[in-house]
């Protein structure tokens, strides 16, 4: 379990009651201050507030007693529940109250809030903007994948009056989700990373995705600004929703922030914007839109190019997002966190450009939420893999057959690929194929839990090391 601490400027119970319309239990001291909100009772520290949220797998109300025993100052609970055995504030619905309280907290603060959304690259863009800004300013960004109606408020609670900025990632599953998040965060700057056909099962159409992502631009004040990936085919469509200046970034000539002299090696991306050169320690040209968004945001808020360059040079890739790992005798490109057709294409391009004298193996899981087009997208993925100088292919999931069929039709040797409907069969095949020096790409949608392949490789290395240690003469 990752332990996340979300500290905020001290708040009194009285302020919380005003913000949420809640009612304090008898005997609860309204002058008590708190500076942390948690939704996991295991993360309670003395003086923090436990917010009991109902969920699909468990109900936070079942852990109120545990939170109190761990030293919570008080707990926020639904008013229709009783018998808590501890200090509580009762609200009509804890989920809605969390949003109202976060919105109230945001209104007490002056830091610049930057919202980041898009179909691909949200987390990488968020992290690059933070890396650039942190070279000159003090601020925060969303933690991990905290980008929904629960995660965004918790991320927002990290902000303090002393901060200069907050970079908040905004995800969406349905129309209106971004609008609701913007009502809480009240961003002055909006960044659209790009729009591609993902989550089609939920949105129904590409046009609906465009409209939903554009909710961020509609929420910006007239004196704010938006940064949009101008190389995205839908850039103009989404920008039309803005009521403030829109800045386009990309490689094409019409972009205000245009990348030139782009060079992508296995461990570094370099490019120019105007007369200024930037270097970022990442693998793959597909990181360029995120980098340009960071350069644009930092420049527009007044930072010098030299400072921006220093910040970007310190950028570190987030877990499971194109991380290059040397695990034992293998090079593993851990891109296991998520996948869609666009990010899969970028991963194939990275593998094609990767220089090695050994095998290149792609281990891919299903791309989910593609609706009726899922079969075609996976078939196309197989074709891309076959055309990307990849030696071996392991496809895992319900759509593994379509991936294998596409690769076979594109000329890949049938003996160098395997359809793996079960995860165990994937590991068995990988164990047979993997040799010292091989380069391994691991990628798939979040639900496929492809990080298990990386964990398996780590265990294999540990076992090899243990055997080597046992074989050393005493």
Residue numbers in the known binding site for ATP are: 118-124
Q: Which residues are 246's β-sheet partners?
A: 226
Compute the distance between CA of residue 289 and CA of residue 414 in angstroms, rounded to an integer: 36
Annotated binding site: 118-124
Q: Closest Cα partner for 290 from 170, 165, 120, 146?
A: 120
Compute the distance between CA of residue 98 and CA of residue 38 in angstroms, rounded to an integer: 11
Total Cβ atoms within 10 A of residue 415: 7
* Lookup: tokens for 92: 């009509």
Measured between alpha carbons, how far is residue 58 from residues 6, 55, 63, 87, 97 in Å? Answer: 22, 5, 9, 21, 19
- Find where tokens 């930092």 sit: 298
Q: Closest Cα partner for 339 from 362, 306, 372, 358?
A: 362
N-to-C CA span, the chain: 39
SS3 231: coil
Give the angle subtended at the CA of 317 by the CAs of 348 and 407, to the nearest 5°.
15
Q: Reduce the secondary structure of 420-465 to three states and give it as a string.
A: ECCHHHHHHHHHHHCCCCCEEEEECCHHHCCHHHHHHHHHHHHHHH
């Amino acid at each position: 379990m990752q332990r996340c601490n979300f500290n905020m400027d001290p708040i009194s119970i009285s302020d919380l009651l005003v913000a949420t319309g809640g009612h304090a239990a008898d005997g609860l001291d309204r002058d008590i201050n708190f500076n942390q909100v948690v939704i996991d009772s295991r993360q309670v520290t003395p003086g923090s507030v436990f917010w009991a949220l109902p969920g699909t797998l468990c109900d936070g109300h079942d852990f109120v007693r545990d939170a109190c025993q761990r030293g919570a100052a008080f707990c926020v609970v639904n008013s229709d529940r009783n018998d808590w055995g501890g200090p509580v504030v009762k609200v009509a619905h804890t989920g809605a109250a969390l949003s109202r309280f976060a919105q109230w907290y945001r209104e007490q603060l002056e830091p610049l809030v930057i919202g980041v959304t898009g179909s691909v690259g949200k987390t990488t863009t968020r992290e690059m903007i933070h890396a650039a800004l942190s070279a000159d300013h003090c601020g925060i960004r969303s933690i991990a994948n905290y980008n929904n109606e629960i995660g965004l408020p918790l991320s927002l609670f990290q902000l303090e009056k002393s901060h200069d900025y907050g970079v908040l990632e905004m995800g969406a599953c349905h129309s209106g989700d971004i609008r609701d998040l913007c009502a809480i965060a009240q961003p002055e700057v909006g960044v659209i990373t790009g729009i591609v056909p993902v989550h089609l099962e939920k949105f129904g159409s590409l046009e609906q995705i465009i409209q939903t992502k554009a909710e961020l631009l509609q929420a910006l004040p007239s004196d704010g600004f938006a940064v949009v990936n101008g190389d995205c085919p839908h850039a103009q469509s989404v920008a039309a929703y803005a009521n403030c200046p829109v800045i386009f970034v990309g490689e094409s000539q019409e972009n205000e922030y245009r990348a030139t002299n782009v060079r992508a090696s296995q461990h570094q991306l370099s490019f120019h914007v105007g007369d200024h050169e930037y270097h970022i320690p990442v693998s793959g040209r597909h990181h360029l839109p995120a980098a340009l968004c960071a350069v644009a945001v930092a420049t527009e808020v007044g930072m010098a190019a030299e400072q921006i360059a220093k910040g970007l040079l310190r950028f570190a890739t987030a877990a499971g997002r194109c991380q290059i790992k040397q695990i034992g005798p293998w090079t593993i490109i851990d891109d296991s966190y998520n996948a869609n057709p666009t990010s899969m294409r970028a991963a194939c391009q990275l593998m094609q450009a990767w220089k090695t004298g050994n095998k290149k193996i792609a281990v891919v899981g299903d791309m989910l939420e593609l609706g009726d087009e899922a079969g075609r997208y996976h078939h196309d993925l197989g074709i891309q893999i076959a055309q990307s100088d990849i030696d071996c292919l392991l496809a895992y999931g319900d759509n593994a057959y379509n991936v294998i069929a596409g690769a076979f039709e594109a000329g890949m040797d049938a003996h160098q690929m395997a359809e793996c409907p079960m995860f165990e069969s994937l590991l068995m095949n990988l164990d047979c194929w993997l040799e010292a020096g091989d380069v391994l790409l691991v990628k798939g949608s979040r639900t496929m839990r492809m990080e298990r392949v990386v964990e398996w490789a780590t265990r294999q290395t540990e076992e090899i090391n243990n055997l080597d240690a046992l074989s050393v003469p005493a």
